[in-house]
Amino acid sequence: MSPTLSALFILLVMVAAYVAAQLIKLSTELSIFVAAVAGALAGGHWLPVRQIAEGAITYLDICLIFLTATLFMNLVREAGGVAFAVRSILKRFHHQKVVLFLLLVILLLIPGALTGAGSVTVLITGSLVAIVLKYMGLPETKVAAIIFLIAGLSAAAPPVSLWAMMTAAGINMPYVGFFLPLLIPCLLASLAVIFILGWKAKPVDLEKALKEIPEPPGKMNWWRIALPFLVFLLLILAGRLFPFSFPVLGLPLIFALAALTAFLASPVKLNIWKVSIETTQQLLPLIGTLTCVGILVQIMTLTGVRGLIAVSVVTLPVAMVIASLFITLPVSEAVLMWGAAPVLGVPLVLLFNTRGFNPVIALAGMSLIWPLGDALPPTAIIGRLTMNVVGVKEPYSKFLKQCLIPGLIIVALGMLMIIFSKQLGFLAVF
């Protein structure tokens, strides 16, 4: 059998195993694992334990960042920091829709930008922002669409953008120069989302809204909220300003130290053990997915399936590839979640690079589009999570319908970034 036929056969076996696992209601991460093992068996490798173990730790650093960053944000929430911030913003700006929307967007962007996970945004600030938006007279499906879309953009926003990080790592490209190419479009798209979907919002009924938002501890203030973020920022800056005298801490430890500060600055005594356990349980499906995606990528590389996909993509006409991104990126995200980045993102960036596009800007553009797939079946984890958090009782299709127009704007923005990546190269400065 030729290498192409062999890899194609293994790919088909993997797809069949994935579909079968989904049909018997296995979780996405286990379905990915089953597909990987089936691929190894079909490739004649039996159970390649070394390769499975090595693949499982591919994203170990990212998992640690994920865990510590989410613990940090959860401690800020448990201390009453998030409720305090939402209430303060609401009290001060409830008559000024534009300022209120702008501040709500920032509140929604921070957790996902720091952790790389849209689900963290939905859980940390999404539920409270949803209360505000509902009291502005917006229907629940619209509120859910706003939270979901901005949560997705927050995951793509810097400093931690898992799609960009995983793709860059797959081609030995430094994760440097992504800050502005990710920040500017994420911010613009988030504002577009909230102003388009919240166009008909009325002034907030302050009294009713405040009744529903939890009361923060009496001693909570802006300093207590800002302190852990300042510690985070200072540690990052210290590493950059004094690189040869300041010890290398690594992002997981920096987030852990910020979490410790949040714990110490809390006006109420926090049960850090309980919050840690809850954080781990909250992240288990996502960490499971990252672990199993690592295994899948390893087995695809071992068997030649990754090479088949890569060479098939890089040899396509580039115009056809770009034109199909609005479908391929969200669908690959829906099936593989972050696995889409190493499996599809790597060959796409290679293609763009060889065709003279700016790989950093092109990858940033792709990172905007990927999160939209989190609303699509079979996974739709973040879409469904948002529905639950907001308390939407209407059918899922109505929520999807609300996402359509702003979703298309995000896709257009991402595709324009890819097409004009060369001209936008000046953004890739740090």
Partner 1 sequence: MNPTVNWRKWLFGLIFLAVLIPAGLSFYRSRHLAEPVVLGPGVTGVKKLSNYFPGIKGSINDAKIYILGEDSGRGSVLILGGSHPEEPAGRLAAWIIIENAKMKAGRILVIPTANPSASTSTRPGGAYPPDYSIKTPWGEQKFRQGDRWSNPLDQWPDPEVYIHYPSKQQLAYMDVRNQNRTWPGRHDGLMTEKTCYAMTQLIRQEKIDLVIDLHEAELQYPVISTIVVHPKGQDLAALASMTISAEEGFDIGVEYSPEALRGLSHREIGDWTEAIPLLMETPEPFLDATRGKTDQNLLLTGRDEFVRKAGKHGLLFEKLDEKGWPVDLRVGRHLSSIIVILKTWSELRPDRLIEAEEIPRYSEVVGKTTGFYLKDPARAPANRLFFE
Any idea of the CA torsion for 234, 236, 240, 244, to the nearest 10 degrees? 90
Q: Rg (Cα) of the chain, in Å, rounded?
A: 22
Does 315 sit near partner 1 (CB under 8 A)? yes
DSSP 351-372: HHHHTT--HHHHHHHHHHHGGG
Does 342 sit near partner 1 (CB under 8 A)? yes
Does 430 sit near partner 1 (CB under 8 A)? yes
Does 250 sit near partner 1 (CB under 8 A)? yes
Does 364 sit near partner 1 (CB under 8 A)? no
Q: In the complex, what is the shortest distance from the CB of residue 59 to partner 1, in angstroms, rounded to a whole number? A: 8
Instruction: Name the residue nearer to partner 1 (CB basis): 86 or 343.
Output: 343
Does 141 sit near partner 1 (CB under 8 A)? no
Q: In the complex, what is the shortest distance from the CB of residue 221 to partner 1, in angstroms, rounded to a whole number? A: 29
Q: In the complex, what is the shortest distance from the CB of residue 169 to partner 1, in angstroms, rounded to a whole number? A: 8
Measured distance CA(339)–CA(292) in Å, rounded: 9
Does 4 sit near partner 1 (CB under 8 A)? yes
The total of other beta-carbon atoms located within 10 Å of residue 25's CB is 8
- Which residue stretch of 85-93, 107-115, 249-257, 259-267 sits at the interface with partner 1 (rule: CB under 8 A)? 249-257
Q: Which long-range contacts link 9-18 to residues 24+ away (Cβ below 8 Å)?
A: 9/42, 10/39, 10/42, 10/43, 10/303, 10/304, 10/305, 11/39, 11/305, 11/308, 11/309, 13/38, 13/39, 13/41, 13/42, 14/38, 14/39, 14/42, 14/300, 14/305, 18/335
Instruction: List C-alpha distances in Å: 425 to 164, 347, 366.
Output: 16, 20, 15
Does 280 sit near partner 1 (CB under 8 A)? no
Does 425 sit near partner 1 (CB under 8 A)? no
Give the tokens for residue 227: 């302190």
- Which residue stretch of 149-157, 220-228, 305-313, 364-372 sits at the interface with partner 1 (rule: CB under 8 A)? 305-313
Instruction: Name the residue nearer to partner 1 (CB basis): 93 or 175.
Output: 175
Instruction: Name the residue nearer to partner 1 (CB basis): 24 or 393.
Output: 24
Does 310 sit near partner 1 (CB under 8 A)? yes
Considering only residues 50-109, where is the footprint of partner 1 by CB under 8 A? 50-55, 57-58, 60-61
Instruction: Name the residue nearer to partner 1 (CB basis): 122 or 349.
Output: 349
Selected binder of partner 1 within 187, 253, 409, 412 (CB under 8 A): 253
Cα-Cα-Cα-Cα dihedral sign, residues 164, 297, 377, 359 = positive
Instruction: Name the residue nearer to partner 1 (CB basis): 276 or 301.
Output: 301
Does 173 sit near partner 1 (CB under 8 A)? yes
User: Which of these, 45, 3, 1, lies nearest to 307 by C-alpha position?
Assistant: 3
User: Which of these, 17, 23, 4, 29, lies nearest to 286 by C-alpha position?
Assistant: 29
* Phi-psi sector, 317: left (phi>0), alpha (psi -120 to 50), beta: beta
User: Which of these, 333, 353, 399, lies nearest to 155 by C-alpha position?
Assistant: 333
Q: What residue ranges bind partner 1 (CB under 8 A)?
A: 2-4, 6-7, 43, 47, 49-55, 57-58, 60-61, 159, 168-176, 236, 239-240, 243-244, 248-254, 294, 297-299, 301-304, 307-308, 310-311, 314-315, 342, 346-347, 350, 354, 430
